[in-house]
Each structure stands twice: as C-alpha cells, then as structure tokens.
Copies of this chain bind each other. A is one copy, B any other.
Amino acid sequence: MRAGPSQEEIRRHNLGALLRHVHLGGPTSRAELTSRMGLNRSTIMALTADLTAAGLVREELPRETGRAGRPSLVVRPESARVYVFALDVGVDRLVAARVGLGGVVLDRRETVRRRGPFVMEEVVGPLAAFARQMHRKTRPDTVCVGAAAAFSGGVAREDGVVRFGPNMDGAEDVPFGEEMARRLGLGLPVTVGNDANLGAMAEHTRGVGVGCRDLIYLHGDVGVGGGVIVNGTLLGGHQGFGGEVGHMIVNPKGRSCGCGSLGCLEAEVGERALLEAAGRFENHSAQPYNGSGALIGRDAVRAVVDAADRGDIVAQAALGRVGDWLGLGVANLVNIFNPEMVVFGGTLREVYLGSAAQVRSRITTDALPPVREHLRLRTSALGDDATLIGAAELAFAQVLADPLEVLARAGS
C-alpha cells in the first residue's frame, strides 16, 4: 500500500464491480446495488450512466412492485448485445457457444469428436466453423468482448499452452489457444483453461456453489478432472496445473491409467472402469462411433445408472464398486482440503446419484469426523455445460475487470 489508489482507478474498479453484480446476479435495482456495493446513490447513478452509454447495461422501470412511492430503476446486463465465444474441447465432443453478458447462452453448437490422437485441425476446424455460423447470425450492433476455451488437459498458466492430455494422445505442448484465435480471426485472444477447473469456477460463480468459499468440483468425462476453490480462489499451483485429482492414486495395485500409473482415481471411477465392471465395455479404438450409440461415452455411462435403477444387479454391483472408490477419493480430498462442498459434475453427477450410499459410507469411514461433519455433497447445477459456462466466465473476465477499456477496443 504505497498510497491510496487514484480517483480514476477507483472509478474503473467500481465500474467492473457493478457490471459483475448484474452479470452474476441478474437485473438488480439501483437501490439494491447501492446497499450491496456500499456506495452512495449518486455514485451508483454515475456508474450506471457510464455503463449504459457504453451499451453494457440498460435501465428499465421494474415490473409492478406493489409498493407505494417511486420505484428504483432496474439495471440489466445487455445480454443480447454484448457476448463472448465459449468453446469446450472434450475427449469426445466439441461445443461452441455464444454467451451473452449475464451468462445467457444465446446460441450453441455441438459435434462429436472422434476419440483418439489430438489433431489440431480436427478440433480447431469445426469450432471455427461453428463460431462463423453463429457470428453470421448476430445483429450488426452486437459486440464480442472475449473468447475462451475449456480443454480436457493440463494448461500452463505461463503461456496458455496445453501441456498434457492423458485421454488425448498428442495433446502435448499444443498451442491450441493461439491457433484457435488465428482461425476465429476476431482479433481476440482465446484464453484456455483446464475444463474441470473452469467447471469449478462456473459452479462457484453461478451454480450450486454460489457463496461457498471452499469447494471441490469433480468432473467425469472419459477421465476424471478436478477443480478446487480455496478461500474463494481457484487453486492453480505453481504452473497452473493444480487440481489434477483424477491422478491421485487410490488403489496402488489397481487398474492401469492413461497417465501410465496404476490405480488413479480416474482409472477406478472413470468411464471405462464403470463400463467394464458392468460388462458393457468393448474396445472401440478401431470403431470411431460413440455418443448416440450408447456404447461408450456419457450416454453409455448413464445407461448403466439407469439399468441399476431398474434393478439390473450387474449394473448395481458395478456402480457399487465405482462408488466405493469414488468415496475413498472424496474422503482423501476432504481430509486434504477441508472443503465446505464437493460437487459431482459431468458423468460423475449420475454416477454419484447412483452410488450415493457407497460414497457416503466411505466418507464416513475414511474422513476425519470433524472435517466431514459440515460437508455438503452436491451435484452440478449447470450439468454438462458447466465447463462451457466456465469458459464463458473466463472470456468475460477482462470486460469485468475494465469494462470501458475492453469495450472501446472491441468496438474499434
């Protein structure tokens, strides 16, 4: 603290803070903003005027409040006008969306990704095509203020390069963001984050974990990813790879994992572990199809949970086995992090719902009592799009940090 910040710095900070309030909280009355932000009415009015002039928010009369007196104007984010591109690169799907300020998914395209080695063009090509299609449909007065991607792999903080992807051969030292930005051709960088980390951010800012400062998000896709919120902030670690809880070894003589180790959480509770235990796994490395056929992929995982639900004892036993390892993994993480909440997302949402008894029983046995006492286990509120929504939040980060500056650049 050298000296106080300048008036201009305070104004920029407050503009971002106000925009963040309506971005995350939705339409909010000036009176509420005044009380929530601890600023006086005239300051709120001035900030709102600036953001309105920039086209980031608009003010409207509220619906009938039922109260007497002059109603406070409601500040709304300009969701239809100000948007970002959010991308999601999963092992077996690619998603692109146009997401408006306020977190509204305005447009969304999805396609299957063939499992197997990472080939840049096969990922960047379809995503860029989706973005072009969606861009073509926008009205002339709209403005794109950012782009970001969730990637199923480890992303270095330093340069945004994908350094490893245990379920995508060849996704090593891949400058995916740079190439994606070039192909989008919007003059915008594409920030890249680990998919589960972004899922954690999404659930923390606008999902089941709102208001929760210590949270673990577990994301089931083909493998198992994790994102950890520590005291309100995403755990990044020294290089940005923090949260790779899927490669915590829980069963040292267990199943082999894509990372080369034995008995990682991912190897014991991932897609293949469940399908094999349920007698439903076939080696599809030669057969590219997935998804709709329900032989592999999230539909296949969900089919096992459904079968167990209908009384299929093989499916029940498979879920029981997987739930036991999942519970052990969660117990470990609970002892290590003392979180307030653990969120099960992606396919782990259904796996958890189908094996909650085993998961809870393991936690009771293996987590220290005072540490598990207040623990809440929850399923993702954002579903399969948690990672995509997280990418959108990453893309919005800059405009929320300095709204007028970013908008001036985007508009020019």
Q: Are A365 and B1 in contact (CB under 8 A)?
A: no
Bound-state Cα–Cα, A331 to B333, Å: 14
A302 within 8 A of B: no
Q: Which residues from B are CB-within-8-Å of A370?
A: 154, 156, 163-164, 239, 241
The answer for the CA separation of A250 and B335 in the assembled complex, in Å, is 13
Interface size on A, residues (CB 8 A): 62
A235 touches B1 (CB 8 A): no
Query: Which of A2-10, A76-84, A353-361 touches B?
Result: A2-10
7 of the cross-chain contacts (CB-CB < 8 Å) are A1-B17, A214-B237, A237-B371, A239-B371, A240-B338, A247-B368, A261-B331
A interface residues with partner B (beta carbon < 8 Å): 1-5, 10, 13-14, 17, 37-39, 154, 156, 163-164, 166, 213-214, 226, 228, 230-231, 233, 235-245, 247-252, 259-261, 328, 331-333, 335-340, 365-371, 374
9 shortest interchain CB distances as A-B pairs: A237-B338, A4-B4, A238-B340, A241-B338, A163-B370, A242-B338, A247-B335, A214-B238, A244-B335
Contact of A244 among B14, B243, B251, B371 (CB under 8 A): B371
A368 and B338 in contact, given A239-B374, A331-B249 (Cβ under 8 angstroms): no
A218 CB to closest chain B CB (Å) equals 12
Q: Which of B240, B248, B338 contacts A236 (CB 8 A)?
A: B338
User: In the complex, A411 Cα to B73 Cα: how many Å?
Assistant: 55
Which B residues lie within 8 Å of A4 (CB)? 4-5, 10
Assembly CA distance A365 to B250 (angstroms): 15
Q: How far is the CA of A281 from the CA of B13 in the complex (A)?
A: 62
CB distance from A243 to the nearest CB of B (A): 7
Cα(A3)–Cα(B336), bound, Å: 38
Contact A371 B241 (CB under 8 A): yes
Cα A35 to Cα B365 with chains together (Å): 55
A253 to B, closest residue via Cβ? B253
Q: Is there contact, CB below 8 Å, between B248 and A335?
A: yes
Name the residue of chain B whose CB is nearest to the CB of A254: B252
- Bound complex: CA A371 to CA B247 (Å): 11
In the complex, are the beta carbons of A337 and B235 less than 8 A apart?
yes
